[in-house]
Chains A and B, each alone.
Chain A
Amino acid sequence: MKGLRKYLDKIKPNFMPGGKYSKLQSVFEGFESFLFTPNTTSASGVSIHDSNDSKRTMTVVIVSLIPCLLFGMYNIGYQHYLAIGQAASAGFWEMFAYGLLALLPTIVVSYVVGLGIEFIGAQIRHHEIQEGFLVTGLLIPLICPINTPLWMIAVATAFSVIFVKEIFGGTGMNIFNVALMTRAFLFFAYPAKMSGDAAFVATEPILGLGAGNLVDAYSGATPLGQVATATTSNFELTNIVGEPISALDAFIGLIPGSVGETSTLCILIGALILLFTGTASWKVMLSVFVGGLFMGFIANSFPSPTYPASSLSPIEQVCLGGFAFAAVFMATDPVTGARTELGKYIYGFLIGVIAILIRVYNSGYPEGAMLAVLLMNAFAPLIDHFVVQANINRRLKRAKANNKL
């Protein structure tokens, strides 16, 4: 540790204004404050800082994503070995190693592209490098299908970091969730690669691991994909080799889907970490689920063969697809969400309702959670405005009544 400190102090003058690498000052500062807590203090006046700064907040979110990440890796391997008919003979570590190898390139690409743009942006504008991309870079691989080509991830990440974040002023200024915008860009730009049967299960062997032929009954459709293409209202959800899915499988997450969103169990563990540390708002999380269950209940009360998803029970609605993941990790984003306390309930509830509404009644989109969160991101400032305005009016009224006395 001391050696590292000494080394940093030795090279520091190079990066200060006038030094050899003065253009890279913010890169140096970024690394320095990542490695050591800055010990400089304010020279004038009194400053009080909460110890819970944005670096710590981001770290907590990363920790809460780890269960989803690890399970996602295992599930990639599990689905693969199921598809080639070797699920019984392959061991736990074999499956996990396969998933790790399949997912790692996506994580690397997402971080390299996103952080690269952040670094360049910070140099151009002489800003400090901010830690905002730390979470986004991990969310992107978790919400994309495993078979998304890497160059598409790179293009989409670059697009959303530049046009959703940097243009609005960088970390903390974006109006839309950056990770979800990446997903939305992919969804609308390359629909063939982002939905359908070929997107969600890795079928190719990686580095000689997991070689084998697909079994005859194989179909890569996700549960929601099956629902969307069902023609009758009494269908049975099956896994990729045609066996029925139990509610327990769907809850634990041994079903095909985007990497991080299949396991409601792991998302719940992540939610507990977020709530226990006070990082995310329980009001948003709770009201998203209430909204989803409410709309799921209404849809289920009027099942119709035209809209096959209406025959799913409310519990199935919130367990399947990206709903739970969006509720816990996307809706609770403090930057893009509503900030007033009453606003949080309204914001969350509407996300839940709209997500199920899109999923059930718009056959073009098998999953609505992404679009619901993005739509409500746009409306969050409006909700806040009305909540604040209502409060002002209430207090004005009270002041008037008091003045009359």
Chain B
Amino acid sequence: MLSKISKEALLGPLSRNNPVLVQILGICSCLAVTAKLEPAIVMGISVTAITAFSNLIISLIRNTIPNNIRIIVQLVVVAALVIIVDQVLKAYNYEMSKALSVFIGLIITNCILMGRLEAFALSNKPWPSFLDGIGNGIGYAIVLIVVAFFRELLGSGTLLGFQIIPQAFYDMGYSNNGLMILPPMALVTVGCIIWWHRSRNKDLQEQ
């Protein structure tokens, strides 16, 4: 069903060429929005949508963009999509929009987006570019969700706002780990995931 290049574009970023774990891109938002699971999921979906459609649009007009203003054209496209996502969030999920605050707007500066536009969309056909955007967005979202899962579970004892750790544990002296809510532990968690990922994929290990 999918050609080889499309398949690689879609599945590669999930693990072997993951934007966060292998290329170490998009770390800032990974620290900022992962204290709770729900914002992380919304952020993951937003980035996936924006990467996919900006890749598609840029790929469609790639032959008409003058080379020396291509960054500006890319920024205009990305900014327009970010504003659409921002407005949709404000209209349908105002609480989440408040919780994510500036980070939706800052998707414009997310390195993954510009990286994919420059490296893939400018030199590939629209359909593979669209799949590449989806793949990278999901690869980013997976990491965000795993990090947020551990941070919310250990830091707040909840998942998606529901109490997971029973009250009996707290009665026995358990407390939530306040450090998990603070940004440093997001870095440590991402570090642990990268550690695990490299130990599974030996060829990614640096000598």
- Residue B115 CB within 8 A of the other chain: no
When distances are taken between beta carbons in the complex, the residues of chain A under 8 Å from B175 are: 152, 190, 192-193
Complex contact A185–B179 (CB within 8 A): yes
Query: Using an 8 Å CB-CB cutoff, how does the interface string of A193-206 with B read, 1 for contact, 0 for none?
Result: 10000000000000
Q: Are B173 and A190 in contact (CB under 8 A)?
A: no
- Evaluate contact between A163 and B188: CB separation under 8 angstroms: yes
Q: How far is the CA of A155 from the CA of B174 in the complex (A)?
A: 12
Give Cα distance in the complex from A151 to B174, angstroms.
9
CA distance A283 to B35 in the complex (A): 43
Complex: A152 Cα to B174 Cα, angstroms: 9
Q: Please, which residues of chain B bring their CB within 8 A of the CB of A163?
A: 188
Secondary structure dominating the interface of B: loop
Give A171 Cβ to nearest chain B Cβ, in Å: 20
- Interface status of B177 (Cβ within 8 A of chain A): yes
B178 at the interface (CB under 8 A from A): yes
User: Taking the nearest CB of chain A, how far is it from the CB of B206, in angstroms?
Assistant: 15
Total residue contacts A-B, CB cutoff 8 A: 20
**Interface contact A190-B188, CB-CB below 8 Å:** no
Q: A37-81 vs B: 1/0 string, CB under 8 Å?
A: 000000000000000000000000000000000000000000000
Give residues 174-188 of B contacting A (CB, 8 Å): 174-175, 177-180, 182, 188
Q: Is the CB of A188 within 8 A of B173?
A: no
Alpha-carbon separation in the docked complex, A188 to B180 (Å): 9
Per the 8 Å Cβ criterion, residues 79-111 of B in contact with A are none
User: What residues of chain B lie closer than 8 Å to A192, measured between beta carbons?
Assistant: 175
Q: How far is the CA of A21 from the CA of B164 in the complex (A)?
A: 42
Q: With contacts A149-B173, A151-B173 known, is A188 near B178, CB below 8 A? A: yes
Taken together as a complex, chains A and B put the C-alpha atoms of A155 and B180 apart, in Å, by: 13
Q: Name the CB-closest residue of A to B175.
A: A190
Q: How far is the CB of A121 from chain B (nearest CB, A)?
A: 14
CA A191 to CA B181, docked complex, whole Å: 13
- In the complex, which residue of chain A has the Cβ closest to the Cβ of B182? A188
Interface residues of A in 178-218 (CB under 8 A from B): 185, 188-193
Q: Please indicate the chain B residues that have their CB under 8 angstroms from the CB of A155 in the complex.
A: 177
Q: In the complex, what residues of B have CB within 8 A of residue A151's CB?
A: 173-174
In the complex, A163→B190 CA distance in Å? Answer: 13
A193 proximity list for chain B (CB < 8 A): 175
A and B contact pairs by CB, cutoff 8 A, 20 listed: A149-B173, A151-B173, A151-B174, A152-B175, A155-B177, A163-B188, A185-B179, A188-B178, A188-B179, A188-B182, A189-B177, A189-B178, A189-B179, A189-B180, A190-B175, A190-B177, A190-B178, A191-B178, A192-B175, A193-B175
List B residues at the A interface (Cβ < 8 Å): 173-175, 177-180, 182, 188
Instruction: Add 6 more A-B contacts to A151-B173, A152-B175, A188-B178 (CB < 8 A).
Output: A151-B174, A163-B188, A185-B179, A190-B175, A190-B178, A191-B178
